[in-house]
Every structure is written in C-alpha cells, then in structure tokens.
Amino acid sequence: MSEFIIEMLNITKRFPGITANDNITLQLKKGEIHALLGENGAGKSTLMSVLFGLYQPEEGKIKKDGVEVKINNPNDATALGIGMVHQHFKLVETFSVLDNIILGSEPAKYGFLKRKEAREKIIELSNRYGLSVDPDAIIEDIPVGMQQRVEILKMLYRENEILIFDEPTAVLTPQEITELMQIMKNLAAEGKSILFITHKLAEIMQVADRCSVLRKGKYIGTVDIKDTNENDLSHMMVGRDVQLQVDKAPAKPGDTVLEIKNLCVKSRIHDALAVKNVSLEVHSGEIVCIAGIDGNGQSEFIHGLTGLEPLASADTSIILGGKDITKESIRQRSIDGMSHIPEDRHKHGLVLDYNLEQNIVLQRYWQKDFQNKGFIKKEAVTEYAERLINQFDVRSGQGTKTTVRAMSGGNQQKAIIARELDKEHKLLIAVQPTRGLDVGAIEYIHKQIVADRDRGAGVLLVSYELSEVFALADRILVMYEGEINGEFKPEEITFKELGLYMSGAKRQGNDK
C-alpha cells in the first residue's frame, strides 16, 4: 500500500498566455493536513481544480492509493472520495440551503426525493461540526459566511475522504476560524486527508502537518511545519522578506468627510431592520473600522451607505464632504468622492465577462480622459489600465485583454483596489479588502490604505479579521445586531475584550 493517498506527479496545466502549473508534484499522506501556500496567481486553485476534475492537465498523472486514476470531471472525483470547498462558491443562488447541499446526491426512493431524511442528516452534520445553517434559507438571502458553511456541509454530506479546502476561512470570523481549525483536526483524526489552500500563515502553523509552496506556477518545496516558521514560509512564497506588521504614524484627523444620522436598512431575510438607527462620523486622515461577527448588519449597513440597498427611514441622512447624498444614485455618490471596495467582488465589484482594462475603467469611462463624443478612447483606456496593473502587481495571462473571470480571486481583488484607490475620492469604504490575498499583497494593500489616510482621505473599513482591525484602525466601532455596541481606540482594548463586545456579552454603558 502506498504511503500517499493522493499523488499528483509532474502536473502541467496551460492557459492562453500562461503556464499555471509547471511540472508540479504534490503528495498527500493519509490522515494528514497538507497546506498549499503561494501568492495570488501561483497556481494553487488551478492545481486543486485539476485534482477535482474541473481542468485536464496537458502533462502528468494522478494516483490514488498508488494506482493511476483518470479524473475527467467532478463526478469522477466524487466517486473517488474527493470533495472540494471552492474559494468562489459553487452554489445555485435561487435554491435553498438544503437543495444546494444535496444537489447531485439526492436521496430518493421509488423516484421520490426523501427530503426529511436529507434534512435530518444536514442538521446532524451542522450540529456535530458547529456549522449552523437554516436548511430552508435561500442562498442569495444569506451572508457570505453562511454560504461558506453550506459549501463545507456539501462536502461532509457526501462523506468524502479527501477534502480540499480552497481559502475556507476567507469569510469567517475569528471564532468561526478557530472552530473550523478544530473541525479540520477532528476530520484528520478520523482518517480524512485534507489539502488546505490558505494565505494565512498563522493558520498553517496552527493546523497543518506539512506545507508545499508554489511560486509563479512552479514548485518551490515541501516542509514539515514543526521545522519552520511564518517568516521562512513567507520568504519561500514571495522570494523576499515580508513585513508582517503595519507601520503607520498616529492619525491626524481633520474635517468630517462622512456624517451618518439614523441609518436604517431592512433585512432581506425577514421583516425586521438589519441596521437600526446607526449614526457615526468619519474624518479626513483617519481609519474608522467597523468590527463585528459576520451577519450583524455590516453588509446591509454598507449597502445602504453606498446605495446598493434602499434606506428604511425618512429620518436617515448621509452627508459626504458637506453634500447631502442620501438620495443620490450609486454613480453620483462615486462622482461625489466615494470609493467602494465591496465585500462580494463578483456580485458588486466586477463584470466578470469584461476584460481587465474594461473593469479598471468601469468607474470613469464616461470622463473626458477616456471618451470623446460618446466613443471610448481605447488607447487611453489601455495605457491607464497598464499603469495600474504594474503599480498594483495585478497578474493575468493576457494583460489588459484578459477576461476577468479567468483571473485568480486575489488578482481580481487587486484590480478592484487599484481602480478604487486611484480615482479621486474623499472617502474610501473598504469591506474585507484583503480577503483572499497573500501576505505580500496584504502588506502592499495595508500600506496603500494607510497612505490614502495620510493623503487626507477618510477610510471606513469593515473587517472580520481582528488582526487587520488592530493593525489599521485609528478608531474601532463594534456592530452587534445592527447597532453600534461600542467605540474604542485599539490601544485601549484587547482582542479578547473586543470579542466580548462583538458577541454581545458586553455592551458599552452597561459594562460589568
């Protein structure tokens, strides 16, 4: 019997203009958690998509338990006991949670779907692994964090023995991440074998047994976690030393750039308000961070502020740079000086079937620099896009002409950040701006956000990463059940205490 349950030997996968995987060998031992680390666009997701049957390699072979296998599609992978939680969810948005989990593996008798049996199994799995979901909720109505849980439950429902996690913690809260790490350890202890793609070095050190590193499509090496550290892993990943701490001077707040009074937004799931009379101010030259557990109204708050959702109260007012924008369109808010890095880059950040340069100029194509009498100045657009691609290190196979759908998630994110930071703005709204980015890119984006603050912009940051909150925030506002539950300076509160406010165990004014 082979020592390895899965072997990917000399895998090469090419796309137009790029070799995503260049002669890569990866070997997974039975019962181990094996991390796969690399920069955005290094080829990690592509390699796992080859294993799951979504792509066919030009060269190389795959073995399971020492025997060569052919994986033509995900059904073949599932038959071999291979499951995958994708970075960009593979969910039918108009279906319920239950229907998405059982899709393709529906329990039936005499042609009739056994929904009661499926529901009981899903509830049992969700209770056992701490993945709380509502089986009857519609996917498009639930937050991103819950959608992630649905993806994990899909895999557990099929009782797969080889589990691929592609950036599974990118949308989870610190508490949920801790729970997921324990779930992964428990699964490995039960004999499951796990391939774990992540950019978060601390998670690798916490949960993985071994780590393989890719860089620009090539295999760099495999190390035992007990013999390495975060600095060594980051150096292997990017080929240079990375500054893991944010270096920023004290804030120098100036004039008020954003004033919100009594903002109310209805929930899409039920009739109650998701955001309840939230009032706050953001000044130029400061970073205000909204911290909280996902699902406490942060998404609805940002949607109401940016115009993506209607406001639920006539008493609400939003003042940007001294101008009342409460009833303005999304485009007018952008023109008035609002930049927005959205939580869901696919739904609200990009047009996936447009190319990279079209997406980069999406907020400005009507301006005189990029059009003349209604005709797009293509050379000007290409030149502008190339400048931002180089400045923000956005990697793509065919440069400005690459269809955005074909790019890695991290490079899609960098394209949005480049577009929003470069255009003139008074206020930068950044929601999970480093979701899915590697440590090198995170270092760069954090520096850009701090530089934006220092140039005089006001920054409103929403992050579920407590390390990011403490690294960037000049002021922290905690949102719990749609209300502001406390305001703090990062130096005046600990991670643990902030977590108590985020969970509602403590409330400012009622501290015990």
How confident is the model over 336-379, as pLDDT tens digits? 999 999 988 888 999 999 999 999 999 999 999 999 999 999 99
* Per-residue model confidence (pLDDT) at position 16: 82
* Per-residue model confidence (pLDDT) at position 243: 66
Residue from 288, 265, 268 nearest 277 by CA: 265
Alpha helices in 103-143 (DSSP H): 115-129
Coil/strand/helix, residue 292: coil
Local confidence band at 146 (pLDDT 50, 70, 90 cut-offs): confident
Local confidence band at 512 (pLDDT 50, 70, 90 cut-offs): very low
Same fold, 4-238 and 243-337+425-512: yes
* pLDDT tens by residue, 101-119: 999 888 777 777 888 999 9
Residues in Cβ contact with 417 at an 8 Å cutoff, skipping those fewer than 6 apart: 341, 392, 433, 445, 448
Mean pLDDT for the stretch of residues 456-468: 91
Residue from 82, 81, 80, 104 nearest 92 by CA: 104
Local confidence band at 166 (pLDDT 50, 70, 90 cut-offs): confident
User: What distance in Å separates the CA atoms of residue 460 and residue 441, rounded to the nearest whole number?
Assistant: 20
Domain 243-337+425-512 is classified in which CATH homologous superfamily? P-loop containing nucleotide triphosphate hydrolases (3.40.50.300)
Alpha helices in 364-457 (DSSP H): 378-392, 409-422, 439-454
Mean pLDDT for the stretch of residues 289-298: 89
In percent, the amount of the chain with pLDDT more than 90 equals 60
Pairing of strands 162-166, 82-85: parallel
Coil/strand/helix, residue 41: coil
pLDDT at 143 over 80: no
In order of 137, 169, 270, 295, the CA distances from 146 in angstroms are 10, 12, 16, 9
Q: Strand pairing partners for 355?
A: 403
Q: Are 28 and 34 in contact (CB under 8 A)?
A: yes
**Least confident stretch, 23-37, 108-122, 273-287, 387-401:** 108-122
Q: What is the DSSP secondary structure assignment for residue 23, as one 8-state letter? A: E
* Per-residue model confidence (pLDDT) at position 3: 86
Mean pLDDT for the stretch of residues 302-309: 95
Q: What is the DSSP secondary structure assignment for residue 400, as one 8-state letter? A: G
In percent, the amount of the chain with pLDDT more than 70 equals 97
Q: How many CA atoms lie within 13 A of 107 on its CB side?
A: 13
Long-range contacts of 119-123 (CB under 8 A, 24+ apart): 121/157, 122/97, 122/98, 122/153, 122/157
Q: Are 316 and 261 in contact (CB under 8 A)?
A: yes
Instruction: Please state, rounded to an integer, the average pLDDT across all residues of the chain.
Output: 90
* pLDDT tens by residue, 173-226: 666 678 788 888 888 988 889 999 987 788 899 999 999 999 989 999 999 999
Q: What is the DSSP secondary structure assignment for residue 169, as one 8-state letter? A: T
**Least confident stretch, 281-285, 416-420, 462-466, 473-477:** 462-466
Domain edges within the chain = 4-238, 243-337+425-512, 353-423
Pairing of strands 338-341, 317-320: unpaired
Q: What is the DSSP secondary structure assignment for residue 349, as one 8-state letter? A: I
Residues in Cβ contact with 484 at an 8 Å cutoff, skipping those fewer than 6 apart: 278, 279, 280, 477, 478
Pull the structure tokens for residue 148. 């992630």
User: What distance in Å separates the CA atoms of residue 325 and residue 340, rounded to the nearest whole number?
Assistant: 15
Enclosing H/E stretch for 304: helix 298-306
Pull the structure tokens for residue 399. 């440069």
**Spacing of C-alpha 22 from chain mean position:** 26
Residues in Cβ contact with 481 at an 8 Å cutoff, skipping those fewer than 6 apart: 276, 296, 297, 504
* Per-residue model confidence (pLDDT) at position 168: 79
**Percent helix, strand and coil across the chain, each to the nearest 5:** 35, 25, 40
Pairing of strands 458-462, 4-15: unpaired
Residues in Cβ contact with 96 at an 8 Å cutoff, skipping those fewer than 6 apart: 135, 136, 137, 138, 139
Considering only residues 442 and 416, tell me which one the structure prediction assigns the higher pLDDT. 416
Coil/strand/helix, residue 265: strand
Residues in Cβ contact with 214 at an 8 Å cutoff, skipping those fewer than 6 apart: 24, 36, 37, 38, 42, 43, 44, 47, 220
- For the four alpha carbons of 338, 167, 292 and 493, in that order, the dihedral sign comes to negative
- Rounded to the nearest 10 degrees, the angle between the axes of helix 230-238 and helix 439-454 is 90
* Per-residue model confidence (pLDDT) at position 115: 87
Residue from 93, 8, 108 nearest 57 by CA: 8
Domain 4-238 sits in CATH at 3.40.50.300
User: What distance in Å separates the CA atoms of residue 408 and residue 394, rounded to the nearest whole number?
Assistant: 10
Residues in Cβ contact with 500 at an 8 Å cutoff, skipping those fewer than 6 apart: 506
User: What distance in Å separates the CA atoms of residue 318 and residue 328, rounded to the nearest whole number?
Assistant: 10
Which DSSP string do the residues of 79-96 spell out, in sequence order? HTTEEEE-SS----TTSB
